[in-house]
């Protein structure tokens, strides 16, 4: 696991070498707010249901940025390993200095592997995710045989997450903790445009763990988006507020 940890640091460290694109690109600086709920609900020792909704707003909370609904089936393969496959419905809206022409829907199939590890007070998580994206073609000519209604894209993501308890030596009930993550998005296959690097996310937050099934987090996300034209990009300073609430249906 130590080798995996250091390899992870190298992977997301390399992502920052792409930040020299900022000097060349037309970068829009914007301010957003993401207000989110996540839940992983056990229905048996081996299986569970993932539920998630993200209410993403531009200009902190004033206007729509994106609506994201996601659910999936969890398989608890081992004490420190979970595999999930699911579906997501995403609606994106015009926002900011580089808006899309009009609102667009996306249907997304996704698969992920989560590995957890612990070293002293440090709680690590590695998340590997692949996505098959069906994005509404807003430029399609109605009733045209030459234009597809949806554009297909592939994407891979890796997230390194770290949580550190601050008011106790362990992540136990009623504990204040610090959270950090770094996530890299890479497009692959046909049609990804000029940039293989799609997004980079850097997150810092404080959280409160009520118990093993419930915690809240309030933090800052530096969200960098590289547009497919290879010229434009966004640096989004984003407030994140999240509730994590799990229900164990095995009880009672």
Query: Rounded mean pLDDT of the chain?
Result: 89
Which candidate, 130, 146, 147, 129, places its Cα nearest to that of 138?
A: 147
Report the alpha-carbon distance of residue 162 to residue 184 in Å, rounded: 15
Tokens 């301010």 belong to which residue?
A: 31
Least confident interval from 3-12, 82-91, 123-132, 208-217: 3-12
6 confidence band (pLDDT: 50, 70, 90): very low
pLDDT in tens, 7-40: 554 444 444 444 444 444 599 999 999 999 999 9
- Model's pTM, two decimal places? 0.87
pLDDT digits (tens, 9 = 90+) for 134-174: 999 987 655 455 568 899 999 999 999 999 999 999 999 99
pLDDT in tens, 112-133: 999 999 999 999 999 999 999 9
Model confidence at 252, pLDDT cuts 50, 70, 90, reads low
For residue range 170-208, what is the model confidence (pLDDT) as tens digits?
999 999 999 999 999 999 998 887 778 999 999 999 999
């Amino acid at each position: 696991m130590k080798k995996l940890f250091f390899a992870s640091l190298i992977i997301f460290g390399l992502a920052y070498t792409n930040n020299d694109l900022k000097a060349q690109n037309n970068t829009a600086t914007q301010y957003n707010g993401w207000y989110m709920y996540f839940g992983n609900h056990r229905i048996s020792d081996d299986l569970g249901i993932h539920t998630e909704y993200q209410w993403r707003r531009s200009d902190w909370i004033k206007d729509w940025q994106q609506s994201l609904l996601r659910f999936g089936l969890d398989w608890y393969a081992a004490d420190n390993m979970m595999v999930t496959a699911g579906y997501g419905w995403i609606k994106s809206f015009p926002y900011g200095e580089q808006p899309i022409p009009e609102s667009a829907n996306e249907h997304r199939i996704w698969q992920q592997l989560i590995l957890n590890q612990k070293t002293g007070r440090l709680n690590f998580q590695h998340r590997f995710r692949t996505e098959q994206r069906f994005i509404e073609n807003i430029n399609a000519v109605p009733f045209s045989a030459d234009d597809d209604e949806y554009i297909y894209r592939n994407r891979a993501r890796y997230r390194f997450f770290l949580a550190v308890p601050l008011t106790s030596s362990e992540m136990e009930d009623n504990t204040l903790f610090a959270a950090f993550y770094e996530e890299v998005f890479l497009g692959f296959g046909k049609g990804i445009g000029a940039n293989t690097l799609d997004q980079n996310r850097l997150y810092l937050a404080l959280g409160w763990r009520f118990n093993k099934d419930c915690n809240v987090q309030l933090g800052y996300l530096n969200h960098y988006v590289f547009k497919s034209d290879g010229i434009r990009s966004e640096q989004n300073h984003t407030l994140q507020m999240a509730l994590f609430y799990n229900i164990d249906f095995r009880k009672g």
